[in-house]
Structure 1
Amino acid sequence: MQISAIDGLANVRDLGGLRRDDGTITPTGVFIRAEMLDRVTPIGWHRLRDYGVRTVIDLRRPNERTGDVPSGVRRIDVDLDGADENFWAPFEKDGRWATPLYYVPHLHRMPQRLAAVFRAIASAEDGAVLFHCGAGWDRTGLVAAALLRTVKVEEDAAVADYMASFSNAAAMATLHGRSFEPEKRRETLARFIHTPESAFRAAYQQLDLDEWFDHAGIDLTTRLAVMTWRGSVASDDDAQDAST
């Protein structure tokens, strides 16, 4: 079954199948990204459970949260944005809040936010973890970028994953009955001398996760769970031992 063929989702994809710097491929069935789940049909939920989804992490702010998950699926609410008005005001004023241009500043200003997502990932029961926001675009994109960086996914592959949301924008508009404004996003980035590709690439290049883990005070158990994609890939220490 293709994870992209889920009734009620138009911007869903597995983070598996992406090429890493060492030539290996990220495993499927570990992390799935998506938009809001409000329109997922019973058939769609059946397919998600068949795919292995057992945990849903909702990255939205408390006033945005809607919808329920069926029995057999655990929902964890984590407000990735946070309520730091001094941080968000300039990003909301000039439109950067809907682009990768806020990713790195957010991680440094509010490291506890992504840290809470990572702790939720580490505590999740066996099975695939689906994380989402409203459009499945930028909050979801930030978490996806961090997860891809932890296992050293090639930059071009990470960029292609981000750009899939632009490709899915028309289908999302049809499904959800509103525009997700891909052209406005492009226009905002152009004012900052960026394209969507270059903005995400710049953010991805700046994601120094080793330094950030220390900055965020991530405990070793959580760090290992994230760095090994919940035990599905070898840790750097394991890989080094295998090569000697």
Structure 2
Amino acid sequence: MTPLRLDIAGLANARDLGGLDRADGTTTPTGVFFRSEALDHVDDGGWARLRARGVATVIDLRRPEERTDDVPPDLDRITVDLDGGMNRRFWEPIEADGRWGTPLYYLDHLAQLPERMRSVLDAIASARDGAVLFHCGAGWDRTGFVSAVLLRALGVTTEAATADYLESFANAEAMEALRGRSSHVAERMAVLERFGHTPASAFVSIYEGIDVDAWFAAAEVADPARAAVRTWRGAAVQTT
């Protein structure tokens, strides 16, 4: 099944992670996790539509210097610096060779900065009842990283997870029109090509490399976060 786009004014790269094929023949539940770009263009009508879809918590994955106060007060807002941008030893080589705008850094990030993703999963586990929307700036790389972990944990097929990742490329032109700035698609493609990848093969290489159980153990993920991820906050049958 193709990703479920959200028709929300002010968002061009937003979708429900539900409806994606799992290896067991079922699909991911809808109305649990939503992914998007930054929310600063969403108007009152857009927020009303998000509330109608059940969104109660927004998790902002951006670095502190990027954040804006753009969430209505009746919704919970949790901020988590997924990047851990102060760790220059990790980021300098990744920024230098361009991998920061691709999935090619994800596995290294999980291994070397496990506390960053663990903090996101803790936020997901502690969120109040209702759907969780998580976002970064473009809803592409950091948001794609969290999505990959959530989809892998629920046994989403490689094909379906890759389709979700590639949706951001399909939405790039609309994002550029909405925000008046480049999505740097050509630059992303050039970096991937230099590393011998297409967008699809790059995502597949990291998605199939995520061993959720092993990473949970290595990162010392708490039991509530493990359960929240494995069952999508109780909405799905736990994977084994």
- Do they fold alike, i.e. is TM over 0.5? yes
Matching residue of 2:224: 221
CA distance in 1, matches of 2:183, 2:123: 28
Partner-residue secondary structure (3-state), 2:189: helix
Q: What is the TM-score with the length of structure 1 in the denominator? A: 0.95
Opposite residue 95 of structure 1, the aligned amino acid is G
What corresponds to 1:92 in structure 2? 95
- Asked if residue 35 in structure 1 is aligned to residue 27 in structure 2, the reply is no
Please tell me the root mean square deviation across aligned C-alpha atoms, in Å.
0.9
User: 1:33: how far off?
Assistant: 0.3
CA contact (8 A) 1:115 1:218 kept: yes
1:54·1:128 contact (CA, 8 Å) conserved in 2?
yes
Q: Which residue of 2 aligns with 1:101?
A: 104
Q: Does 1:195 align with 2:198?
A: yes
- Residue 158 (structure 1) aligns with: 161
| Structure 2 partner of 1:118 | 121
Q: Which structure 1 residue ranges, 5 or more long, are not aligned?
A: 238-244
After TM superposition, where is structure 1 displaced by more than 6 Å over at least 4 residues in a row?
Answer: none
Residues of 2 paired with 1:221 and 1:43: CA distance? 34
Q: Secondary structure of the residue that 2:208 maps to in structure 1? A: helix
**Rounded Cα–Cα distance in structure 1 between residues aligned with 2:223 and 2:71:** 30
AA of the residue aligned to 1:210: D
Letter in 2 for 1:163: L
Q: TM-score, normalised by structure 2?
A: 0.97
Alignment: residue pair count: 236
1:139 aligns with 2:146: no
Q: Deviations over 1:10-48 (max 9, x none)?
A: 000000000000000100000000000010111100100
**Equivalences for residues 9-88 of structure 1 within 5 A:** 9-82=11-84, 83-88=86-91
1:88-138 alpha-carbon deviations (Å, 9 max, x no partner): 001101110000000000000000000000000000011110000000001
TM-superposed deviation, 1:236: 3.2
Gaps of 5+ in 2: none
- Tell me if the contact between 2:13 and 2:138 (Cα under 8 Å) persists in the aligned partners: yes
Letter in 1 for 2:173: A
Does structure 2 retain, via aligned residues, the 8 Å contact 1:35–1:135? yes
1:17–1:27 Cα contact (<8 Å) kept: yes
Kept after mapping to 1: 8 A contact 2:154/2:239: no
How far did 1:68 drift? 2.2
* Structure 2 residue identity aligned to 1:23: G
